[in-house]
A and B are shown apart, each in its own frame.
Chain A
Amino acid sequence: MSSEEFRQQEAELDELYRDIIIDHYRHPRHKGRLTAPSASHEGLNPLCGDEVTVEVVLDGTDLGEIGYTGSGCSISQSSASMMAEAVAGKSVAEAHRLIADFTAMMRGDEGIDPDALGDLEALSGVRKFPVRIKCATLAWHTLAQALKEASA
Chain B
Amino acid sequence: MRQDTRDKVSSALDVNAIRGDFPILEREVYGKRLVYLDNAATSQKPRQVIDALVRYYESYNANIHRAVHALGEEATAAYEEAREKVARFIGAASSESVIFTRNTTEAINLVAYAWGRANVGEGDEIILTQMEHHSNLIPWQQLAAEKGATIRYIEIKPNGTLELGNLSALFGEHTKLLAMPHVSNSLGTINPAEEIVAEARKRGVTTLIDGAQAVPHMPVDVEAVGADFYAFSAHKMLGPTGVGVLYARRELLEEMAPFLGGGEMIRKVTFEGATWNDLPWKFEAGTPNIADVIAFGSAIDYLDALGMDNVRRHEVEVTTYAMERLRGLDDVTLYGPDEPDQRGGVVSFNYGDLHPHDVGTILDRHGVAIRAGHHCTQPLMRCLGVTGTARASFYIYNTRDEVDALIEGLKAARDFFK
Interface residues of A (CB under 8 A from B): 1-2, 5-6, 9, 12-13, 16-17, 22, 47-51, 71-75, 129, 132, 135
- Inter-chain contact A71/B387, CB cutoff 8 Å: yes
Asked whether B285 is an interface residue with its Cβ less than 8 Å from the other chain, the reply is no
What residues on A are CB-neighbors of B358 within 8 Å?
Answer: 17, 73-75
Q: How large is the interface on B (under 10, 10 to 19, 20 to 34, 35 or more residues)?
A: 20 to 34
What residues on B are CB-neighbors of A5 within 8 Å?
Answer: 30-31
Asked whether B355 is an interface residue with its Cβ less than 8 Å from the other chain, the reply is yes
Asked whether B282 is an interface residue with its Cβ less than 8 Å from the other chain, the reply is no
Complex partner residue of A48 from B28, B30, B365, B388, CB under 8 angstroms: B388
- Inter-chain contact B357/A135, CB cutoff 8 Å: yes
**Contacts A72-B355, A74-B358; is A51 near B31 (CB within 8 Å)?**
no
Asked whether B271 is an interface residue with its Cβ less than 8 Å from the other chain, the reply is no
- Inter-chain contact B31/A72, CB cutoff 8 Å: no
Q: In the complex, how many angstroms separate the beta carbon of B16 from the nearest chain A beta carbon?
A: 23
- Could you list 13 A-B pairs, sorted by A, with CB under 8 Å? A1-B32, A13-B362, A13-B365, A13-B416, A22-B417, A47-B373, A48-B388, A50-B357, A71-B387, A74-B355, A74-B358, A74-B417, A135-B357
What residues on A are CB-neighbors of B355 within 8 Å?
Answer: 72-74
What residues on A are CB-neighbors of B32 within 8 Å?
Answer: 1
Interface residues of B (CB under 8 A from A): 28, 30-32, 355-358, 361-362, 365, 372-374, 378, 381, 387-388, 416-417
Among B361, B374, B388, the most chain A Cβ lie within 10 Å of the Cβ of B361
- Inter-chain contact A16/B361, CB cutoff 8 Å: yes
Complex partner residue of A1 from B31, B373, B416, B417, CB under 8 angstroms: B31
- Inter-chain contact B381/A49, CB cutoff 8 Å: yes
**Contacts A72-B355, A74-B355; is A49 near B373 (CB within 8 Å)?**
yes
Count of chain A to chain B residue pairs whose CB atoms are closer than 8 Å in the complex: 53
The 9 A-B pairs of least Cβ separation, nearest first, read A1-B31, A73-B357, A73-B355, A48-B373, A49-B374, A5-B31, A49-B387, A49-B388, A71-B387
- Inter-chain contact B357/A75, CB cutoff 8 Å: yes
- Inter-chain contact A48/B374, CB cutoff 8 Å: yes
- Inter-chain contact B30/A9, CB cutoff 8 Å: yes
- Inter-chain contact B31/A132, CB cutoff 8 Å: no
Q: In the complex, how many angstroms separate the beta carbon of B254 from the nearest chain A beta carbon?
A: 39
- Inter-chain contact A12/B372, CB cutoff 8 Å: no
Among A22, A72, A73, the most chain B Cβ lie within 10 Å of the Cβ of A73
What residues on B are CB-neighbors of A75 within 8 Å?
Answer: 357-358
What residues on B are CB-neighbors of A48 within 8 Å?
Answer: 357, 372-374, 388
Complex partner residue of A49 from B28, B30, B361, B378, CB under 8 angstroms: B378
Question: Within the assembled complex, what's the spacing in Å between the Cα atoms of A72 and B416?
Answer: 18
Q: In the complex, how many angstroms separate the beta carbon of A45 from the nearest chain B beta carbon?
A: 9
What residues on B are CB-neighbors of A1 within 8 Å?
Answer: 28, 30-32
What residues on A are CB-neighbors of B30 within 8 Å?
Answer: 1, 5, 9
**Contacts A49-B378, A49-B381; is A72 near B387 (CB within 8 Å)?**
yes
Nearest B residue to A71 via CB reads B387
Question: Within the assembled complex, what's the spacing in Å between the Cα atoms of A135 and B32?
Answer: 26
**Contacts A1-B32, A9-B30, A17-B416; is A132 near B374 (CB within 8 Å)?**
no
What residues on A are CB-neighbors of B374 within 8 Å?
Answer: 48-49
Q: In the complex, how many angstroms separate the beta carbon of B368 from the nearest chain A beta carbon?
A: 13
What residues on B are CB-neighbors of A74 within 8 Å?
Answer: 355, 358, 417
- Inter-chain contact B361/A129, CB cutoff 8 Å: yes
What residues on B are CB-neighbors of A6 within 8 Å?
Answer: 31
Question: Within the assembled complex, what's the spacing in Å between the Cα atoms of A82 and B379?
Answer: 30
Question: Within the assembled complex, what's the spacing in Å between the Cα atoms of A73 and B381?
Answer: 15
Question: Within the assembled complex, what's the spacing in Å between the Cα atoms of A6 and B366?
Answer: 10
Question: Within the assembled complex, what's the spacing in Å between the Cα atoms of A5 and B366?
Answer: 12
Question: Within the assembled complex, what's the spacing in Å between the Cα atoms of A43 and B374?
Answer: 16
What residues on A are CB-neighbors of B357 within 8 Å?
Answer: 48, 50, 72-73, 75, 132, 135
- Inter-chain contact B365/A9, CB cutoff 8 Å: yes
Complex partner residue of B361 from A2, A47, A72, A132, CB under 8 angstroms: A132
